[in-house]
Amino acid sequence: MSHAAPAHKRILLKLSGEALMGDDSFGINRATIVRMVEEIAEVTRLGVQVAVVIGGGNIFRGVAGGSVGMDRATADYMGMLATVMNALALADAMDKQGLVARVMSAIAIEQVVEPYVRPKALQYLEEGKVVVFAAGTGNPFFTTDTAAALRGAEIGAELVLKATKVDGVYTADPQKDPSATRYTKLSFDEAMSRNLGIMDATAFALCRDQKLPVKVFSIIKHGALKRVVMGEDEGTLVYA
pLDDT tens track for 50-86: 999 999 988 876 665 566 678 889 989 999 999 999 9
pLDDT over 90 percentage in the chain: 78
What integer pLDDT is reported at residue 4 of this predicted model?
81
Q: What is the pTM of this model?
A: 0.93
207, 152 contact by CB (below 8 A): yes
Indicate the domain borders of the chain.
10-239
Q: What is the mean pLDDT of the chain?
A: 92
Binding-site residue ranges for ATP: 14-17, 57, 61, 164, 170, 173
Which tens digits make up the pLDDT trace of 176-188? 898 999 999 999 9
Q: What's the pLDDT score for residue 3?
A: 64
Is the model's pLDDT at 151 over the cut of 60?
A: yes
Condensed to tens digits (0 to 9), the pLDDT of residues 85-100 reads 999 999 999 999 999 9
Range of lowest pLDDT (19-28, 134-143, 162-171, 214-223) = 19-28
| Binding region | 14-17, 56-57, 61, 76, 137-144, 164, 170, 173
User: Taking residues 99-124, what's their average pLDDT?
Assistant: 97
Please compute the mean of the pLDDT values over residues 30-50 and round it to a whole number. Answer: 96
pLDDT for 58 equals 86
Predicted confidence at residue 1, as pLDDT, reads: 44
Q: What is the pLDDT of residue 128?
A: 97
Per-residue confidence (pLDDT) for residue 206, from 0 to 100: 96
Mean pLDDT throughout 114-142? 97
Annotated binding site for UMP: 56, 76, 137-144
Residue 90 dihedral angles phi and psi, to the nearest 5°: -65, -45
SS in 3 state form for the chain?
A: CCCCCCCCCEEEEEECHHHHCCCCCCCCCHHHHHHHHHHHHHHHCCCCEEEEEECCHHHHCCCHHHHCCCCHHHHHHHHHHHHHHHHHHHHHHHHHCCCCEEEEECCCCCCCCEECCHHHHHHHHHCCCEEEEECCCCCCCCCHHHHHHHHHHHCCCCEEEEEECCCCCECCCCCCCCCCCECCEEEHHHHHHCCCCCCCHHHHHHHHHCCCCEEEEECCCCCHHHHHHCCCCCCEEEEC
Write down the CATH number for the domain with range 10-239: 3.40.1160.10
Q: Which pLDDT does position 62 carry in this prediction? A: 60
